[in-house]
Chain A
């Protein structure tokens, strides 16, 4: 059966067919609260403007998630807010579970879009905000995480969409809206998309990320994806992979944040761009280069003007980019992997964090 036949058979309604396909978003909004670190989406009944879906999907529906985005409704205008945003991007994750199996664990940097503004001052008393949008920008302009393979939400499976975040006070009372973009199939009668059949392997989109603290400006090598004892919000997986899975890396982003004591973001970027990324698999070098095309910085820096009336202005810097590999880098099961990021002496942006984010697909055996 070719694609057209398949589409005719399953995708479009007509005589002899009883399925409808539609582009459809699921969205849910939860208010964030200081100190509350876990949020579960799609659990409560549908409410206008807040959510359009309560899971699980019914017996006549199947949903394919093809993209994920989220938006905290806040304009980030101060360095404290950018600091909190950095926590949301680097130290928070969304975990998607279907039938009690993790389908994806993705960092905030993957899917959260945000608003930020440069505060600029005129010479007298006027302060103006110059607002922009930021986030994980894709080539087609979509801000959020597009999935190279859809996540299947089958009829009557159980689901969990769990957001774990440090619970920063900056977001107290702020609405956080999560949107699942995808395709929905509706049928006239109960059915189930049989995803398993007699097959033995599963492929899922995956983001492997690791956030590490920059302790000092001295030359240092960060050994990434190695320490299983890392707090769960700072890592989504370690090397070597288990003997039932392989990972194909398709894109990479290195995200650096604003340090605890903010400095000029331009200095951070120019310092971090010299860092060396080294990847070897089973003693064969697969990558060794600088960060010019994969370095992202989201930082703010408050400055005090010298002229009267001495207004504070804030200089925001938002550079998000990822390097899409022309040939995916495949990490085999059980392989010996070195994934090192080395900073030279005199590096700046001390006491901040670096997140290394690898995007791709995992193939795993049905266990």
Chain B
């Protein structure tokens, strides 16, 4: 008689979910915090993230947190290499974790100070006439 196959249910372990979630956050946030005090090379972000999370896990005696930190750090480190090898999925190569991709250029409304390069309204909707204070430094 054939043995009845029992379907094992995947149990939901909220403790692990929370710890892994915390590890994900920590791997991202720890490099930022460290960078505030000690500027880091961007390539070190994932290493610092993983190391910091492992340390936090050890100190808090949370095994899952520590191990997940290392796993996530490893993913951040390895995934760009893997993507490079397999060519990604038609998407451009991403920067190392921690470096934000190019922000969308902002639309500069109006022309508050046209001689300021960052307020440059090369194209503008409000062609304000420059006043003497705006242009006197240009002659």
State in angstroms the CA–CA spacing of A200 and B129 once bound together. Answer: 16
B99 at the A interface (CB under 8 A): yes
**Closest chain B CB from A261 CB (angstroms):** 34
Chain A hits for B36, CB < 8 A: 15
**Closest chain A CB from B103 CB (angstroms):** 7
B120 touches A64 (CB 8 A): yes
Chain B hits for A191, CB < 8 A: 102, 105
**Closest chain B CB from A68 CB (angstroms):** 12
User: Of A189, A193, A201, A360, which contacts B101 at CB under 8 A?
Assistant: A189
State in angstroms the CA–CA spacing of A336 and B41 once bound together. Answer: 62
**Which 4 residue pairs spanning A and B have beta carbons closest together?**
A195-B122, A199-B123, A148-B138, A15-B35
Looking at the complex, which of B60-68, B72-80, B108-116 is the stretch in contact with chain A?
Answer: B108-116
Chain A hits for B123, CB < 8 A: 195-197, 199-202, 366
Chain A hits for B116, CB < 8 A: 3
A231 at the B interface (CB under 8 A): no
A15 touches B31 (CB 8 A): yes
B90 at the A interface (CB under 8 A): no
**Closest chain A CB from B72 CB (angstroms):** 19
B82 at the A interface (CB under 8 A): no
Looking at the complex, which of A212-220, A295-303, A326-334, A343-351 is the stretch in contact with chain B?
Answer: A326-334
State in angstroms the CA–CA spacing of A139 and B117 once bound together. Answer: 20
B12 at the A interface (CB under 8 A): no
User: Of A3, A9, A326, which contacts B103 at CB under 8 A?
Assistant: A9
B6 at the A interface (CB under 8 A): no
Contacts A7-B118, A202-B123; is A17 near B100 (CB within 8 Å)?
yes
B139 touches A250 (CB 8 A): yes
**Closest chain B CB from A117 CB (angstroms):** 27
B118 touches A16 (CB 8 A): no
Q: Can you add 19 more A-B contacts, CB < 8 Å, to A194-B105, A201-B123?
A: A3-B119, A9-B103, A15-B36, A15-B40, A16-B98, A16-B100, A64-B120, A139-B139, A188-B95, A188-B99, A199-B107, A201-B124, A201-B125, A203-B122, A250-B130, A250-B138, A327-B132, A359-B139, A361-B135
A189 touches B121 (CB 8 A): no
Q: Which residue of B lies closest to A362 (CB)?
A: B127
**Closest chain B CB from A23 CB (angstroms):** 11
Q: Which residue of A lies closest to B103 (CB)?
A: A9
Chain B hits for A194, CB < 8 A: 105, 107
Chain B hits for A221, CB < 8 A: none
**Closest chain A CB from B68 CB (angstroms):** 23
Q: Which residue of B lies closest to A6 (CB)?
A: B118
State in angstroms the CA–CA spacing of A225 and B139 once bound together. Answer: 22
Chain B hits for A126, CB < 8 A: none
A361 touches B124 (CB 8 A): no
**Closest chain B CB from A150 CB (angstroms):** 5
Return the CB mask of A174-215 against B: 1 if under 8 Å, else 0: 000000000100011111111111111111100000000000
Chain B hits for A188, CB < 8 A: 95, 99
Chain B hits for A243, CB < 8 A: none
